[in-house]
Amino acid sequence: MAIPIIQVLAPVAGVVGVAGIIGWVGTGMRIRHGYPLEPWEIGPKANEAIERIMLLSAENAQLRAGLGTMKDRLANVERIVTDDSHRLTHEIEALRQPSDRS
């Protein structure tokens, strides 16, 4: 009577054992490659997404301000390069002389 029970339970125990080993290997692979262990934690959480958007918006504003400054500087360089040298020399000399604005 004990032998039929063993014959039924042995394959079940084998399947459970193999499933456990496969799960253990799968978890190790997820840990090694940086995937979350819980399947429902695939993307960033709502608070993290909002914080990331705010940081990117601030960085975007800084980059736009820097771009505006660079455009102004480029316009000045273009003006200097395209300006005739005679007028440029007079402007530089005028800046070197002390002003009478006291």
pLDDT, tens digit (0-9, with 9 covering 90-100), for 33-90: 777 667 665 556 667 778 889 999 999 999 999 999 999 999 988 887 787 777 777 8
List of residues 6+ apart from 80 with CB closer than 8 A: 88
pLDDT recorded at residue 59: 96
The residue type of 66 is: G
Tokens of 27: 């978890």
Q: Are 32 and 38 in contact (CB under 8 A)?
A: no
DSSP H or E stretch at residue 71: helix 46-82
Identify the residue with better confidence: 18 or 43.
18
Helices and strands in the chain: count of H runs, count of E runs: 3, 0
Q: For residue 32, what are its two tokens?
A: 């090694």
